[in-house]
Structure 1
Amino acid sequence: MAHSFTRAPQRTANTSTNQSLSIYVGNLSYGTNERDLEAFFNEKCGNVKRVRIIYDNNTQQSRGFAFVNFNTDDALNTALNLSDCRLDGRVLRISPAEARNSSSVSTDQVASTTPQTTNKHRTQVVHCKKSKYDVYIGRPSDWGNPFVIGKDGDRDDVIRKYRNWIMRQADLLARIKPELQGKRIACWCKPEACHGDVLAELADVD
């Protein structure tokens, strides 16, 4: 899908370089990528300058939060009023970004957007041939992704289609928490993104 980008005139330094024109976006789905997030805010607010999702250095998975920078104050203010809107099944937490480099994230921000592991183990997605695991979720298991890369689109497409598909499978949704929560679930994709990220997210959601 093509998106139209409209840059505002350079009114003052405040519209182009001031980091107050950035927002912090928390509670992101682990399957949401920069393209999804940019399209969302361009549709709602326009004038998106930059989107940056923060990833784990070891697993390369999204840490569930991002920073979005805008060209204008109007776009920023519109974005700040979008808190509690949904994207990819998650209620977004939106607040002004701290006035510092977006790679520097406070401990409080990380704690508020990553699953709590104090009282329960987080569901992990691993490669079935490279790691020990508890539950196999690849084909031909009940948890396998019926959509195929190439035939049904690229990697992002088949993950998105799987999310939409499984949300209509009442029997599987009822089994996710009792069978997968806190387990090491395995497929063939890791460390790349896969449908297992969707299952892990659903297993861990409160």
Structure 2
Amino acid sequence: MASNNRQNSKMTDDGANVTSTPSHDTRQASSSIHVNNLSYDATEEQLYSSFCVCGDIKSVRIITDRLTGNSRGFAFVEFKNTTAVSDAIKLDGMRINGRPVKITVAQPRNSINDNRVVQNREEYQRNTPSRTRVVHCKKSQYDVYIGRPEYWGNPFVIGKDGDRSDVIRKYRAWIMKKPEMLERAKTELRGKVLACWCKPEACHGDVLAEIADND
């Protein structure tokens, strides 16, 4: 039976015929684009209206911070067919909500490789200590004091506002509603040694360290 694969014959220097089968490109064409340098105030509706001229859109997703819910300044637009991507790339540099954006092809995700990346990241997080630490202010050297009455101090007091677990829980709920503090924690506290009077007991400093180290 004849093979459906196209074969090429090539004669070597010693006169022998060598038959080769062309390799196939197994890469999957992408139907999505990555939109970077996006205005933090841009909406999914604005993205939809900007790219619908390229083809039918399947989904629009602005990536947000897991803690604050605020935009991280980039998004993905998925089309119903791959041909729309080439037209979308031509719009690189267009302004959305007053800001020029960078448009590139979003490569299809390989589920096997993605699973390995997730497993490696989880293993790294299990085996790597937190980059931000909390110590007792009188027992260790430190970078930032986070006790009262400083900016990072816990406004909730043990006794008046409940037991230790209560005031930590209340502090977490309180700071999660303050996007400016969340952002400052990431930029000012990440990788630092924080100090208060509580350690080695649990305290609000553990919440700050968690926020600071959160990617």
Shorter-chain-normalised TM-score: which range?
Answer: 0.3 to 0.5
Normalised TM-score (structure 2): 0.42
With the length of structure 1 as denominator, give the TM-score of the two structures: 0.44
- Point out the structure with max Rg over C-alpha: 2
